[in-house]
Amino acid sequence: MCGIVGYIGPRNTLGILLNGLSTLEYRGYDSAGVSFIQDGRLELIKKKGYVKELREAVAQAGFTLDDRHTNRISAGIGHTRWATHGAPSDENSHPHMSMNGKLCVVHNGIIENYAELRRFLKKKGYVFASETDTEVAAQLIEYYYGLNDNKDINAAVRRALKDIVGSYALCVLCVDEPDRLICAKKDNPIVLGIGKGENFIASDVTAMIEYTKDVVFLEDNWILTMTKDSVEITDVYGDPVEYKVEAVVWDADSVQKGGYAHFMMKEMHEEPKIFEATVEPRIKDGDIYLEHFPVDEEYMKGIHNINIIACGTAFHAGCVGKYLIEKLCRIPVVCTVASEFIYSDPIIDEHTLTLVISQSGETLDTRNAMKKAKELGSGTLAIVNVIGSTIAREADNVLYTAAGPEISVASTKAYVAQLGCLYLIALKFAHVLGKLDKEKYEYYQNELLQIPDKLEQILRKQTDIQRFASTHFNVESTFFIGRGLDYFLSMETSLKLKEISYIHSEAYAGGELKHGTIALIEDGTLVVCPITQDDLVSKMESNIKEVATRGATVLAIVPERFRDIKFSCDVRFTIPDCDELMAPILGVLPCQIFAYYMAVYKGCDVDKPRNLAKSVTVE
Ligand code: AGP
């Protein structure tokens, strides 16, 4: 969702801010803006639309983005806004300037008591230029700044925060203190990047890894004051806090397209590499190691049930995890969409382990669900991609997926990496519980280690899928049908198709079709059937026949070992053989490629689909 960048240092500040905002575009937004202090003047440029339009507006206003020019800007902040309070418009875009022009504010999150604060400020004579909750913060800070004899912007921010109820990553630029930036954080991520004679802030590290790898993930209720040479972090009372500088392992190339037309294509091509990076280092001498997560027989015997919470694609990975853990460990598992979990009355106590799955580590629904599980006494193990993210820090233990930055809104490689972690967890638990003998345990490890090569083989045949998409992208409706693990695979790939191509798409359990949905099948309906489980072949062939006789065009995705089986499909795509338990990891890739090309042929903005944000930090 919204993105923040801030910079103080000798480089061209506008160049840093606008490049940073471009990098954060993937988070999803509808307007953008910058504010900076040049020659002692507080400047503000903001626009509805994309960063490209903001760049043009900055150039038209006569400011240079060229690094070779001397930087006359003492400090700057920038923002991409994903509208919540007030429609996308120039006025509602951030930064927001306070009424007397003293300061500008950018904000991610929601100020819940903004209406009450607005009434208070109006009584004090403040006039508002936007409909946003953020403008209230700008006016309130200015109000307290005016009351403050020492004219200390840090003190004014801390005082205003006492009145603000809600969540925020807030960054403030004050014309009277042109060499300082103040940031505050509660329930929204903000990262400090420490350079030499320069400092950065951003919503995530991708916006700064080109310049520095030394970062501090700010904690809730911390206040950061930075100049180009100094960093001071306090709590809301102004007392210094201890903080840790961490080194980012991601490299700058990982946020570039690297010759691919879209990040999504690049990220699908990274799947072999990132699966290997997630799985291989955790397998040693015939055993699986889950870093600092203590898994011994005594611990496992104390776990009576497992609870999985996640949203969207991560939830679909969780469904596969449920299947695996129940099958291999014989422990009851419930997998719930995080936004529903918080309204449920789950059977959870200290004998429950909760697995929390999130690429971004910032999804608010998932965070809230994790909080509830903890309150009920459950231990938590998070499977997270973004290092240092909130869920990673708030969970009892974390297992990182080694997917690197995922920029495309449609999650592909992170899903495959999440599966990697879930297979490791299920196998380890089963072995520790004595449900999986050494021979079978090592057999499955070996199967996992062969996945990267097999993913490569699928990528080499991507033009077969492309060809199919090139003649079917005009369909109005697509159904994905599968049974068992293939049903979860269908759920995930149906989501992928709808989110990037806007084609209506549903996933159905093969056996459910005849209970109603088959009424929707007609001439020209497209049906995609992953069939990877040996004992489900004949059942799925019956499903294919049912839809084919009603006019559907059927694409089947099957392993090589089914080569002699006749299916009534129109086209079949073959994936390499593997143990059928591992098939979801291979089966998803051709379906992702299919969704990608359907969207490309339809002319959709693949990496930035309409209405979607990469990291969903509102409920
Ligand atoms: C995936 O393609 C989606 N964009 C979305 O469903 C996503 O998986 C979901 O919002 C969860 O995000 P998270 O993994 O960052 O928590």
**Is residue 615 in a domain?**
no
Both tokens assigned to 456 = 């490569």
Q: How many helices (H) and strands (E) does the chain have?
A: 18, 26
User: 501 C-alpha to center of ligand 1: Å?
Assistant: 16
**359 CB within 6 A, ligand 1:** yes
Assign residue 57 the CATH number of its domain.
3.60.20.10
Q: Return d(Cα 432, Cα 51) in angstroms, integer.
A: 52
- Angle between helix 583-602 and helix 413-432 axes, rounded to 10 deg: 170
**Number of structural domains found in the chain:** 3
Assign residue 392 the CATH number of its domain.
3.40.50.10490
Q: How many CB atoms lie within 10 A of CB 606?
A: 23
**360 CB within 6 A, ligand 1:** yes
* DSSP letter string, 379-395: EEEEEESSTT-HHHHHS
Q: Can the peptide bond before residue 281 be classed as cis, meaning omega within 30 degrees of 0?
A: no
DSSP 62: T
- Both 302 and 432 in one domain: the answer is yes
- Both 284 and 315 in one domain: the answer is yes
User: 9 C-alpha to center of ligand 1: Å?
Assistant: 35
* DSSP letter string, 103-157: EEEEEES-BTTHHHHHHHHHHTT---SSS-SHHHHHHHHHHHHHH-TT--HHHHH
**395 CB within 6 A, ligand 1:** no
Side-chain-facing half-sphere of 452: CA atoms under 13 Å:
14
The list of the chain residues with pLDDT below 50 reads: none
**Is residue 612 in a domain?**
no
Ligand 1, atom 4: closest residue by C-alpha: 410
- Both 277 and 304 in one domain: the answer is yes
Q: Which of 313, 591, 610 to mutate to test the pocket of ligand 1 (most atoms within 8 A of CB)?
A: 313
Residues with catalytic function: 2, 614
Element (H, E) at 27: none
φ, ψ of residue 400 to 5 degrees: the values are -85, 140
- Both 312 and 445 in one domain: the answer is yes
Q: Could you say which of 252, 273, 290 is where a domain stops? A: 252
**314 CB within 6 A, ligand 1:** yes
Q: Tell how strand 526-530 and strand 553-559 pair up.
A: parallel
**Is residue 616 in a domain?**
no
- Both 45 and 151 in one domain: the answer is yes
User: 59 C-alpha to center of ligand 1: Å?
Assistant: 35
Q: Which of 335, 336, 360 to mutate to test the pocket of ligand 1 (most atoms within 8 A of CB)?
A: 360
Handedness of CA 601, 606, 314, 574 (dihedral sign): positive
- Both 139 and 215 in one domain: the answer is yes
Both tokens assigned to 168 = 């925020």
**409 CB within 6 A, ligand 1:** yes
User: Tokens 């679909």 label which residue?
Assistant: 316
- Both 176 and 35 in one domain: the answer is yes
**206 CB within 6 A, ligand 1:** no
Q: Which of 27, 336, 401, 411 to mutate to test the pocket of ligand 1 (most atoms within 8 A of CB)?
A: 411
Atom of ligand 1 nearest to the CA of 386: 15
Q: What is the 3-state secondary structure (H, E, C) of 293-324?
A: CCCCHHHHHCCCEEEEEECHHHHHHHHHHHHH
* DSSP letter string, 403-438: -----SSS-SHHHHHHHHHHHHHHHHHHHHTTSS-H
User: 588 C-alpha to center of ligand 1: Å?
Assistant: 16
Q: Which of 262, 263, 311, 406 to mutate to test the pocket of ligand 1 (most atoms within 8 A of CB)?
A: 311
Q: Which domain holds residue 51?
A: 3-252
Atom of ligand 1 nearest to the CA of 615: 15
- Both 16 and 145 in one domain: the answer is yes
Strands (E), 9-40: 31-38
Rounded to the nearest 10°, the torsion over CA 49, 55, 60, 63 is 140
CB burial of residue 287 (10 Å; 0-12, 13-18, 19+): middle
**574 CB within 6 A, ligand 1:** no
User: 313 C-alpha to center of ligand 1: Å?
Assistant: 5
Q: Do the beta carbons of residue 615 and residue 409 sit within 8 Å? A: no
Nearest to 262 by CA among 55, 162, 410, 58: 410
pLDDT value at position 150?
A: 74
Separation of first and last alpha carbons in the chain: 12
DSSP 93: S
User: Tokens 């991609």 label which residue?
Assistant: 385
**Is residue 597 in a domain?**
yes
φ, ψ of residue 283 to 5 degrees: the values are -110, 120
- Both 270 and 418 in one domain: the answer is yes
**366 CB within 6 A, ligand 1:** yes
Partners of 555 in beta bridges: 528, 571
Q: Return d(Cα 392, Cα 383) in angstroms, integer.
A: 8
Ligand 1, atom 9: closest residue by C-alpha: 312
pLDDT value at position 83?
A: 81
Handedness of CA 51, 109, 339, 429 (dihedral sign): positive
- Both 333 and 305 in one domain: the answer is yes
**Is residue 619 in a domain?**
no
**307 CB within 6 A, ligand 1:** no
**363 CB within 6 A, ligand 1:** yes
Give the pLDDT confidence of 116-158 residue by residue, as tens digits: 999 999 999 999 999 898 999 999 999 999 887 778 999 999 9
Q: Could you say which of 252, 274, 290 is where a domain stops? A: 252
Q: Do the beta carbons of residue 31 and residue 78 sit within 8 Å? A: no
Q: Could you say which of 252, 287, 311 is where a domain stops? A: 252
Q: Return d(Cα 197, Cα 199) in angstroms, integer.
A: 7
Task: Name 463's Cβ contacts closer than 8 Å, sequence gap at least 6.
Answer: none
Nearest to 576 by CA among 556, 594, 561, 591: 561
- Edge to edge, what strands does the sheet with 571-575 contain? 504-509, 477-482, 526-530, 553-559, 571-575
**Is residue 116 in a domain?**
yes
Exposure string of 354-372, with b = 16+ CB inside 10 Å and e = fewer, is: bbbbbbbbbbbbbbbbbeb
Q: Return d(Cα 478, Cα 501) in angstroms, integer.
A: 11
User: 495 C-alpha to center of ligand 1: Å?
Assistant: 10
- Both 519 and 583 in one domain: the answer is yes
Q: Return d(Cα 540, Cα 437) in angstroms, integer.
A: 32
User: 388 C-alpha to center of ligand 1: Å?
Assistant: 18
User: 365 C-alpha to center of ligand 1: Å?
Assistant: 11
pLDDT value at position 619?
A: 75
Give the pLDDT confidence of 71-84 residue by residue, as tens digits: 789 999 999 998 87
- Both 146 and 118 in one domain: the answer is yes
DSSP 224: E
DSSP 6: E
